[in-house]
Amino acid sequence: MRPFTGYVRRTTIALAFAVAGTAVHPQSWQPPADSQRCPSRWGAGDQRGSGNHMKPETVLRAVKLIRTGEVIELGHVLNSSMPFFGTRRFDVHTKRTFMNPQSNRRGSNEELVVSEIGQVGTQLDGFAHQTIGSSMYNCFKVEETATRSGFAKLGVENVGALITRGVLIDVAALKGAHTLPDNYEITAEDLERALERQKLKLQSGDAAILHTGWGKLWSKDNARYAKGCPGIGVAAAEWLAKQDPMLVGADNFSVEVSPNPDPNVSLPVHQIMLVVNGIHLLENMKLDELAAKGVHEFAFIVQPLKVQGGTGSTVAPIAVR
């Protein structure tokens, strides 16, 4: 196994040049070539990425953090008033009660849910969700794996149950804010200072959870919530990847700052985490209770739905302390 390096390089360019009298700023981050990132640190053909940290010792380490048995839910309720993006939707259609003919008069109720079940609400991004060109994590190719009934490789069914040490990195508290400013880019220094303030350090295999306060807008100001959000930038993402987490989550829709300060790149942190480093992202988390109680270290538990070939899964994670 190769040593973990993050496989990511940030290109810092200080000079702008003029073309036909117009200043042109080169792209601030370029994806690495397939040859630079594949095979992944977990080996050629691997589909689990950071999920490989899920081992008995990881679970036992998490369980040691449970002192009171208190469970704090980190997932939002799924309904039609959630913020949505593009044509995504969530519709519940209740099927009328069916009354069985036997003497005990047993009624039965069901519902039909119409939704992008992997990409709405509190949800975990699988590795088939994002690409660099047509190349996904560990250099699986879209054209070789995509079918009309899901992806033959990197489907979310490969993730399984994730139980590990969770660390809340409260950047909003660091800044003395209920909610970070719109489009605020969280830096690596912010993350280090927040952890220092909380007297904690990240360990390999942790669930690193970022509190920005953006979740306070959920179902209250959906237009603002979905227009953009504070989150980590490229440098902070690279710093987090070097800490070797099992996943990175946040109380916003993209984990990363959106839109990116550089208009030449689109959600580069998604590529850095999912495609380059094989680290899952957990979006739209409900972190208000966790932050209000000052719970910064806890046992973290989540399991995606086993949607074969799915690009992600709606989830309901919990923190236990």
C-alpha to C-alpha distances, 78 to 81, 217, 219, 266, 284, nearest whole angstrom: 8, 15, 11, 27, 11
Stretch 121-137: mean pLDDT, rounded? 97
Q: Are the C-beta atoms of residues 309 and 287 closer than 8 Å to each other?
A: no
Stretch 23-29: mean pLDDT, rounded? 58
Task: Using the predicted structure, report yes or no on whether residue 21 has a pLDDT greater than 90.
Answer: no
Give the pLDDT confidence of 54-111 residue by residue, as tens digits: 999 999 999 999 999 999 999 999 999 999 988 999 999 999 888 999 999 999 999 9
Contacts of residue 11, Cβ cutoff 8 Å, sequence gap at least 6: 26, 27, 28, 29, 30
pLDDT value of position 10: 40
CA dihedral 127, 130, 131, 134 (to 10 degrees): 90
> Helices in the chain by DSSP H: which ranges?
34-37, 56-63, 142-145, 171-174, 188-197, 222-227, 234-242, 268-270, 288-292
Entry pTM: 0.88
Preceding peptide of 230 cis, ω within 30°: no
Task: Using the predicted structure, report yes or no on whether residue 316 has a pLDDT greater than 90.
Answer: yes
Q: Which residue has the higher pLDDT, 9 or 259?
A: 259
Domain ranges of the chain: 17-83+116-320
Please give the CATH architecture assigned to the domain spanning 17-83+116-320. 3-Layer(bba) Sandwich (3.50)
Binning pLDDT at 50, 70 and 90, where does residue 242 land?
A: very high
Stretch 34-51: mean pLDDT, rounded? 97
The residues pairing with 299 across neighbouring beta strands, listed in sequence order, are 165, 320
Which of helix, strand or coil describes residue 46? coil
For residues 68 and 77, what is the distance between their CA atoms, to the nearest angstrom? 25
Give the pLDDT confidence of 148-181 residue by residue, as tens digits: 999 999 999 999 999 999 999 999 999 999 999 9
Task: Using the predicted structure, report yes or no on whether residue 27 has a pLDDT greater than 80.
Answer: no
Question: Average model confidence (pLDDT) for the chain?
Answer: 91
Q: Which residue has the higher pLDDT, 229 or 1?
A: 229
Q: Are the C-beta atoms of residues 250 and 283 closer than 8 Å to each other?
A: yes
pLDDT value of position 28: 80
Task: Using the predicted structure, report yes or no on whether residue 8 has a pLDDT greater than 80.
Answer: no
